[in-house]
Amino acid sequence: MRYRSAAVALACAASLLTRYGPARALRIRDEAGRPLATIAIPATFTLSFMHSVNLSRVDEEFSVGEDGSLTLERVLYDQMSTGMPSGDEDGFAVVDGRFETRPGRRFDEIAVRISPVPGHELRENGRRRPLTYWAPIESMLRFSAARESDLPKEIDR
Q: Is 14 inside a domain boundary?
A: no
Q: What is the pLDDT of residue 109?
A: 95
pLDDT digits (tens, 9 = 90+) for 137-151: 999 999 999 765 555
Report the predicted TM-score, pTM, of the whole model to 2 decimal places: 0.75
**Residue 15 located in a structural domain:** no
Query: Band of the pLDDT at 16, cuts 50, 70, 90?
Result: very low
| Whether the Cβ atoms of residue 80 and residue 92 lie closer than 8 Å to each other | no
Q: Cite the DSSP H helix spans in the chain.
A: 2-20
End-to-end CA distance of the chain: 45
User: For residue 18, is it within any domain?
Assistant: no
Task: Please classify residue 59 by burial: count the beta carbons closer than 10 Å to its beta carbon, then call 0-12 exposed, 13-18 middle and 19+ buried.
Answer: middle
Residues 6+ apart with CB under 8 A from 23: 40, 42, 147, 148, 149
Instruction: Tell me, yes or no, whether 3 lies in a domain.
Output: no
* Helices and strands per DSSP (H, E), number in the chain: 1, 12
Going from the C-alpha of 119 to that of each of 42, 86, 150, the distances in angstroms are: 23, 23, 32
Using the CB atoms, write b or e for 27-36: b if 16+ within 10 Å. bbbeeeeeee
The residue segments making up the domain with residue 112 are 23-150
pLDDT in tens, 82-107: 666 666 666 777 788 888 888 889 99
Confirm whether 141 is domain-assigned: yes
Mean pLDDT estimate for the chain: 78
Is residue 98 one of the residues assigned to a domain?
Answer: yes
The count of domains in the chain is: 1
Residue 56 belongs to some domain of the structure:
yes
User: Is 64 part of any domain?
Assistant: yes
How far apart are the C-alpha atoms of 157 and 144, rounded to whole Å?
16
